[in-house]
Amino acid sequence: MDQNELITQITNEVMKRLQAEMSRQSVQPGAAVSGGGKFTGADPASLAKYIDHTMLKPDATLAAFDKLCDEAKQYGFKSVCVNSCRVPYVTKKLQGTNVKVCSVIGFPLGAMDSRAKAFEARRAIEEGAQELDMVINVGALKYGELKYVEDDIRAVRRATRGTTILKVIIETSLLTDEEKVLACEISKKAGADFVKTCTGFAGGGATAEDLRLMRRVVGPDMGVKASGGIRNYDKAVLVLNAGANRIGSVSSVPIVTGVRAEDAGY
């Protein structure tokens, strides 16, 4: 049995187990994975430590990154997440603070050569990135090139030299449930620290159903990041209770202040 056949066999077994668990537990949308919704009623400001404050717009100016960093320092967000060309700028702006610098890699398509992703990862780390969010090669996954997908992730993992947090964006809106399981399994096997829902550039967004599935596949010890369409406190609580332990959002300030994103200009 070759590697792809083995992964397919394991995926089928995992899907059967997950379906059996869901049937036994009668899990409803929005319910917590365990513990009965521990984030429900949480102080909005307390969610800041779970949030990667994000700016990935192609037309973002330096003024936008100034604002991003100032808000991250003010509210105590976990990190700022930016395109790799802005890593040096935000690293300097955040020097001496507890806010981490996160760079996306292979963003937003994930379809470039693995060596290019690895180079971008190394360069971002050299310039100050402490976390990386890489985009999986979605087309390769959907075509069944599973070893290619794994090697692609491993190339970036090697570039981190084990010192940088690696999150793998699986782009859930483009995948079937079986493909989501495969993507999570491969990411875990390749040594990633997190799996992440989506880029926000391919439609869709983080759902409770996807997050419960991802959490069940990767288990309790690997990170799960919810990203895409999280614009207010209620949605943030929903995804955290569904199994996420990190959130990526451009509406981080409305989440932690309770102000509507539309009213705050986000």
Catalytic residue positions? 133, 196, 225
β-partners of residue 166 are: 132
How many residues make up the chain in this entry? 266
List the one residue out of 125, 72, 70 whose CA is nearest residue 249.
72
> DSSP string spanning 214-262?
HHHHH-SSSEEEEESS--SHHHHHHHHHTT-SEEEES-HHHHHH---TT
Q: Rounded to an integer, what distance in angstroms lies between the CA atom of residue 205 and that of residue 229?
A: 5
Q: Give yes or no for a contact between 150 and 186, defined as CB atoms under 8 angstroms apart.
A: yes
